[in-house]
Amino acid sequence: MRTQVYDVAELNEEALRNIDVAGKILAEGGLVAFPTETVYGLGANAMNPAAAADIYLAKGRPSDNPLIVHIADISQLEKLASGQMEVALALAEAFWPGPLTMILPKQKCVPDVTTGGLNTVAVRMPQDAAALELIRRAGVPVAAPSANLSGRPSPTAGAHVIQDLFGRVDVILTGNDCRIGIESTILDLTGEKAVVLRPGLLTPEELGTVLGYIPEIDPGILKKPGSEEGQNPAPRAPGMKYKHYAPKAPMEIFSGDPRRVRQAIADKKAAAEAEGKAVGVILFEENAFERAAHDLFARLRDMDDRGVDLILAGAVNDRDSRGFALMNRMLKSAGYRITHV
Ligand code: AMP
Ligand code: MG
């Protein structure tokens, strides 16, 4: 497939013309990758089953892992979803456009392919100006998972998307690096109480200011998928059962007192290098959660590109909700290999 790459970092006249072209391609059933403030998305017309199915093909993604539907206006929410709309609209007013995805019962018009066969739909309004412009010009809701090949770290720069999807999609819009850098917080609103299905930089505490209570985190998130205790035949966020964000090299996390963590990493690095291995180290500044989220996936991809044999990382403070969201991504990347020192 021929892929057009358009730079939309600055929304000048040329960029707007190209976004218009991309919007028409989306409306007609094509695939367009685009920047958002969380990670890059791989978009298709959410209301067109064949187009949505093409997303799974382009990514190599299992088709029972549902897609998030992106909208550009709060009024689109009621056309896609039903259920606790009062709560949903209050959350939308407070946090959209932004890194919040809400799960609600779906309306009939949303095709099964888009929801991975579920009777619920995931909806988000992204904050990135190019993304909003694209969705507006497409004139339809845009289904979009992260714009990486299935299993690779989510893309946070245009170059990452080109690396994974060039030749597999119609258009790649490249912009500035994603401001946030990890995926949206997913909040399930189908039960009596809201539940966080995927932690993100928008925290349960912040959601609590609108909900009136701090939502619980789905217990499935804390468990290793496929493990004895993680055995859950129907995980609430189907994505939870898949291996995600994995760099090519094995990764190991060390947690505990920061000085001991540094020492353990230095020792293990020296030992691996003595065996002729190339070692990559990820140590974030303490409690600099935003910076760490912004950098994490780019660091993992950089290590893949450099062909390191082993990645050693220091745990971040997961008593902070943003640190918890980061550790969720890091643990997945490391296949849950963590050593307490
Ligand atoms: P991605 O955009 O690749 O990060 O993946 C989207 C995430 O949203 C996946 O983990 C999905 O399982 C989750 N998701 C999408 N739709 C639903 C839904 N209706 N119910 C629960 N989780 C969903
Ligand atoms: Mg993804």
Q: Is 103 in the pocket of ligand 1 (CB under 6 A)?
A: yes
pLDDT of 19 over the 70 cut:
yes
The answer to whether 52 and 113 are in contact (CB under 8 A) is: yes
Residue the block writes with tokens 């353990």 = 264
H or E element in which residue 217 lies = strand 216-217
CA–CA separation, 245 and 301 (whole Å): 10
Probe target for ligand 1 pocket from 82, 103, 232, with the most ligand atoms within 8 Å of CB? 103
CA–CA separation, 325 and 37 (whole Å): 16
49, exposed or middle or buried, with CB in 10 Å at 0-12, 13-18, 19+? middle
Residue the block writes with tokens 């998972």 = 145
Atom number, ligand 1, closest to the C-alpha of residue 242: 10
CA of 123 to the centre of ligand 1 (A): 9
Q: Is 238 in the pocket of ligand 1 (CB under 6 A)?
A: yes
Region 113-117: mean pLDDT is: 95
What are the pLDDT digits (tens) for 213-237?
Answer: 999 999 988 777 666 544 444 456 6
pLDDT at 314: 98
Q: Is 65 in the pocket of ligand 1 (CB under 6 A)?
A: yes
**Which candidate, 194, 192, 184, places its Cα nearest to that of 293?**
184
pLDDT at 61: 81
Atom number, ligand 1, closest to the C-alpha of residue 238: 12
pLDDT at 230: 44
Region 87-111: mean pLDDT is: 98
CA–CA separation, 28 and 171 (whole Å): 13
Probe target for ligand 1 pocket from 36, 59, 68, with the most ligand atoms within 8 Å of CB? 68
B/e letters for 255-277, b = 16+ CB within 10 Å, e = fewer, are beeeeebeebbeebbeebeeeee
CA–CA separation, 217 and 199 (whole Å): 8
pLDDT at 77: 98
Q: Is 110 in the pocket of ligand 1 (CB under 6 A)?
A: no
Q: Is 189 in the pocket of ligand 1 (CB under 6 A)?
A: no
The answer to whether 101 and 77 are in contact (CB under 8 A) is: no
Nearest-CA residue for ligand 1 atom 1 is 145
Who has greater pLDDT, 160 or 247?
160
Nearest-CA residue for ligand 1 atom 13 is 237
Q: Is 41 in the pocket of ligand 1 (CB under 6 A)?
A: no
